[in-house]
Amino acid sequence: MMSLPKLMVAPNGATKTKSDHPRLPITLDEITETARACFAAGADGLHLHLRDAQGRHLLDAGAYAEALTHLRAAVPGMVLQITTEAAGIYEPPHQRRVALDSGAALVSIALREMLRDDETVTRRFYEDCAAKGIAVQHILYDRTDAEALARVLPTSMLRGPTLQLLFVLGRYTEGQSSDPSMLDPFTGWLGTAGIEPDWMVCAFGPGESDALLAAHAIGGKMRVGFENSLWHADGSIARDNAEQVARLIARLAGRE
């Protein structure tokens, strides 16, 4: 299975619009332009959300397949991951079909969304993904999610070398805030569980880059972009996703 990229950009998300930021990419052409700019700035992965003709969140296996073909040609060096986010629209059976039928090699899936169905169904779905060579990045919002994952996943998958996780630091409901201390419950769980997954962090608000750098310092990977934050660490609004990528890399290199 394909590993997670070191620095993934999540440029739009499911709900933000151009009223949130005029350079938020909505159409596939805009997403492609953003992907190219972010790749040039140093991001090696793209977390892909699609929208329909009205700009609404879209989960559609055929639309994903077309978009992936387009992006693989446009940005051949970039790792592409699709989302299965429900966004209050889709139910687990539909999300499962999209994950399995889109042709994506990497898929992000929120465990708590899957667990709206029976745990046995969820476990079988993860096994089906593994059988097809699809790398699932399990989205975990808190330690309770992490402990549920340990209960649901077969032991061979939990302790295997291909386990991928995304730890979410902060929430929209907390005023778009995050800080490095929010990582502690997750790293504590990793130590208790005795596992060494391929893990990544995303974070909200002006504290985004501080949280990502803290994760990087202890072996985590980073996801940056307008899906979670529009701000730089100094509180200023980013010009675009590529500027966020460039500023994070500059901080990583000690140039800021």
Q: Where are the domains of the chain?
A: 7-252
- Measured on CA atoms in the order 31, 43, 4, 231, is the torsion positive or negative? negative
- Give the separation between CA 150 and CA 94, rounded to whole angstroms: 24
How buried is residue 12: exposed, middle or buried, by Cβ count under 10 Å (0-12/13-18/19+)? buried
Q: What are phi and psi of 105, to 5 degrees?
A: -90, -25
Give the per-residue pLDDT at 172: 61
β-strand 79-83 against 106-110: which pairing, if any?
parallel
Q: For residues 109 and 126, give the distance between their C-alpha atoms in angstroms, rounded to a whole number.
A: 10
- As a whole number, the mean pLDDT across the chain is 95
**Each residue's pLDDT tens digit, 105-114:** 999 999 999 9
Q: Which two tokens stand for residue 83?
A: 């989302």
Task: Classify strands 45-48 and 50-51 as parallel, antiparallel or unpaired.
Answer: unpaired
pLDDT digits (tens, 9 = 90+) for 52-107: 999 999 999 999 999 999 999 999 999 999 999 999 999 999 999 999 999 999 99
- Main-chain phi, psi angles of 44, to 5 degrees: -110, 10
CA end-to-end distance (rounded Å), the chain: 35
CATH topology for the 7-252 domain: TIM Barrel (3.20.20)
pLDDT tier at 2 (50, 70, 90 boundaries)? very high
What is the rounded CA–CA span in Å between residue 113 and residue 88?
10
Beta-strand (E) ranges in 127-197? Answer: 135-140, 164-169
Predicted confidence at residue 174, as pLDDT, reads: 55
- pLDDT band of residue 207 (cuts 50, 70, 90) is very high
